[in-house]
Amino acid sequence: MPAAPAPEASPPSINGGQSFDKILETASSEHSGPVSGPASPSNLLKGPSVNISTIPLHEPMTAMPPSRTRVSAAYQNNATPPASPPAQSDVQKYKDDQLLRNPGGRNYNLDKKEISQNTHKESVWGLAQKDFSDVFGNVKRFFDNMFMGTTVLYRNDKNEIKEGHQRGLLETAMDFFKDLGSAVSFGAWHPERAEAPHGFMNRLSYSASKLKDALLGDIVEGIPASLNHMGKNMILSGWHLAEVLPDTVTGSFEPGQKLTTTIFDNGHVLIEYLTDIAPSGDAWLRVHASSLKELKPPVLYNLKMPEYFSRDSRWEHVRNTPFRKTIETIGSLLADALFVGLFGETGSSSNRRHQIEN
């Protein structure tokens, strides 16, 4: 007699004998609503059939979870730091510093503290407007430097554009009388500090400091520096007035714009350099500065300065890179030699004329 067929094996069970199909059916009914057909793996892959008309309108639909691609892209965006601007060379830093000082750089808008990325596709009228704006900007600064000074832009150690103050001629003269009055009164008149110095030695030290500020800081350095700034502004205004004609002639062509920009921007930087290294210019004052306390003579004192130094107005508004130190030292010493040579020629010629007349 043939044996009875063995009963069909039931699917493996977990959780105390509950079948896997049963678990899927239960989980699907709890999270996805009614399912059409048995809870077989094929039906589960097709997804549940939901009657949209039964969804209440006042209940918002649950947002779909983000895809793996979107999650990965968001992670990459947050994980990757923003690209930093390329580092500038010392030559680029020097040109940038000089074009920030006075109006004239093609892409430099000093009033808005903006540097645009010009693609050399400006209209001829736009180029002429920029040129005339630079001309009048330098004329305005001429009068500002004649009276109470002007605002200068510079970059700090974080490469941020900041504002500084440049003393004017009248302001320097007023500072001279303030410093001289504080010195001769031994601090009894002290317009720049809240309290007068106490004690004989403190008053004597304060008086000597103010006398030094009056004679060296105001008369020897301050007034000639203000005159230097005024002369620089007049030269720059004439330089950029001359830029109008080539911009008008060649401005409609991109190569012409590039050529004109290169010539006049570099010429602007050269004018800044030549007036800086002239006696009483900003670079000349830095090169000839010294320190008795640190026993550092002129030239060496400036060469030992760091790139950023905010405790002295002579270095506060520049990035004193090795390149700047080199060209300013060489230029200032050559200016000294030229000045001595011209002064010697004039003196010897005057003596010869005086001897001939006698």
Dist CA 131 CA 267 (whole Å): 14
Kindly write down the DSSP assignment for every residue of 148-182, as one continuous string: T-EEEEEE-TTS-EEEEEE--HHHHHHHHHHHHHH
Print the domain residue range for 135: 103-357
Work out the average pLDDT over 228-240. 98
pLDDT for 247 equals 94
What angle, 0 to 180 degrees and rounded to 10, lies between the N-to-C axes of helices 124-146 and 223-241? 160
252 within domain boundaries: yes
In a domain, 153, yes or no: yes
pLDDT in the model for residue 14: 44
Residue appearing with tokens 């006696």:
279
Tell me, yes or no, whether 291 lies in a domain: yes
Is residue 92 domain-resident?
no
Q: Is residue 81 part of a domain?
A: no
Paired with 231 in beta bridges are none
Q: Which two tokens stand for residue 141?
A: 């600064």
| Between residues 286 and 56, the one the model is more confident about | 286
pLDDT tens-digit readout, 178-224: 999 999 999 999 888 888 899 999 999 999 999 999 999 999 999 99
Reported confidence tier of residue 347, pLDDT bands at 50, 70, 90: low
Q: Is residue 10 part of a domain?
A: no
**Residue 241 reports pLDDT greater than 50:** yes
Q: How much is the mean pLDDT over the chain?
A: 82
Whole-angstrom Cα distance, residue 213 to residue 234? 28
Number of domains making up the chain = 1
Name the band, by pLDDT with cuts 50, 70 and 90, for residue 117.
confident
Check residue 19 and give its pLDDT: 54
User: Has residue 201 been placed in a domain?
Assistant: yes
Q: Does residue 7 belong to any structural domain of this protein?
A: no
Q: Which two tokens stand for residue 130?
A: 């920029």
> In a 3-state reduction of DSSP, which class is residue 291?
strand
pLDDT tens track for 1-31: 445 555 454 444 444 455 545 554 555 555 4
